[in-house]
Amino acid sequence: MVEVFNKLADYFQNVPAVRYAFIVGILIALCASLLGVTLVLKRFSFIGDGLSHVAFGAMAVAAVVGLTDNMLLIMPVTIICAVLLLATGKNSKIKGDASVAMISVGALAIGYLLMNKFPVSGSGNVAGDVCSTLFGSTSILSLTETDVWVTIILSLIVLVLFVLFYNKIFSVTFDEDFARATGTKAGLYNLIIAIIIAVIIVLAMNVVGSLLISALIIFPALSAMRVFKSFRSVTVCAACVSVFCASTGIIISIIDGTPVGSTIVAVDIAVFVVFWIIGLIKGGVKR
C-alpha cells in the first residue's frame, strides 16, 4: 500500500501530465454532475448521449479539414445541436426522442466514415484513432498546458452560471408550465441549460471519450437521488460523488494502467450500487 502511495506521490511531483489529468478530470466530473440532476428529471438523459456523438462527428470533420484547433469547430456545432434538440424536444416527447436518436446515430456514422476515408494521423491505425475518440483511452494523460487552462476557464464559467441560475434551473425543471405562466423566461433558461450541457460534453470528451460521457452526467445524479431528498442535497451529493469517482478512477488507472474513462465509469457504477442499497435500507426502515 505504502509503495502505491509513494509511486503516486512520485508521479504527482514529477509528471505534469498526471497533475493535469487530475485537475481536468475533477473539474469536468464536477461540472458534468451538476446538470445531471436536471437532465435526469427532465427525461433528457439521452440528449447527453446524442450530443456526445455529435461532438464525435464534428471532431472527425475538424480532423479531416485539418483544423489545428479542433475546439473551434466542435464547440459551435455541439452547441447548435444542443439548442435544436432541447428546443424541439420540449413539447412532443416522442418526436424529441426520435430526433435525438437520428442526430446521434447519424453523426456517429458520418464521423466514422470520414475517419476511414481520410485517415488523419498518418499512423494508418484508424481503429486505434476511432477507439481513443470513442472511449477516451489515454488522451487525458496527453493534455497540454493550454488544454488545462481552457478546461479550467470553461469549468469556472459553467460553475458560476450554475450557481447564478440555480433557482431558475430548479423552477424550470420542477414545473415548466408554472414557471412560464408566472413570468419566468423558461425558454431562455432552457437555452442556457442546453449551452452549458454542450460545453460540458465537449470538455468531457477529453476525459472519458464520447461514448461514456453520459455516464459521467447521469450516474452521480442517479446515485444521489437514491439517498437524498431535496434538490440542493442531491446536487451537492452528486457533485461530491462525481469528484470522488473521477479521482479514484484516475488513481486506479494510473496504478493499474487501465483506460481512464472506463475506469471512472466503473467506479461510478460501483458507487451507484452502494447508494442504491443504502436507499433500499433507509426506505425499508422508514416504512
Partner 1 sequence: MAQLTCDSVTLGYEGKEILTDLSFSVSQGDYLCIVGENGSGKSTLMKTILGLHSPMKGTITTGDGLKPTEIGYLPQQTLVQRDFPASVREIVISGFQGKCGIRPFYSKEEKRQAAENMKKMRIEDLAKRCYRELSGGQQQRVLLARALCATQKMLLLDEPVAGLDPKVTAEMYSLINELHSEGITIIMISHDIEAAMRYATHVLHIGKDVFFGSKESFKRGMFMDGFSFNKKGGERNG
Distance of closest approach, residue 133 Cβ to partner 1, in angstroms? 34
Q: According to the binding rule CB under 8 A, does residue 43 interact with partner 1?
A: yes
Q: In degrees rounded to 5, what are phi and psi of residue 42?
A: -85, 5
Q: Which segment (15-23, 38-46, 210-218, 272-280) binds partner 1 by CB under 8 A?
A: 38-46
Q: Does 236 bind partner 1 (CB under 8 A)?
A: no
For residue 79, give the nearest of 152, 175, 131, 154 by alpha carbon: 154
Taking the C-alpha atoms of residue 65 and residue 158, their distance in angstroms, rounded to an integer, is 29
d(CA 69, CA 226): 41
Residue type at position 217:
I
Binding residue for partner 1, selected from 45, 99, 138, 184, defined by CB under 8 A: 184
Contact 260, 21 (CB under 8 A): yes
- According to DSSP, residue 121 is labeled S
Q: Which stretch binds partner 1 (CB under 8 A): 107-115, 164-172, 203-211, 269-277?
A: 164-172
Size of the site for partner 1 (CB under 8 A): 32
How many other C-beta atoms lie within 10 A of the C-beta of residue 147? 17
Which amino acid is present at 79? I
- CB closer to partner 1, 20 vs 44: 44
Residue ranges in 214-233 that form contacts with partner 1 under rule CB under 8 A: 224-225, 228-233
Among 139, 155, 173, 210, binds partner 1 (CB under 8 A): 173
Complex with partner 1: residue 124 or 183, whichever CB lies closer: 183
Q: Taking CB under 8 A as the rule, does residue 166 contact partner 1?
A: yes
Assigned C-alpha cell, 185: 423566461
Q: Which backbone phi and psi does 82 adopt, to 5 degrees?
A: -60, -45
Would you tell me which residues interact with partner 1 (CB under 8 A)? Answer: 37, 41-43, 163-168, 170-171, 173-175, 177-184, 224-225, 228-234
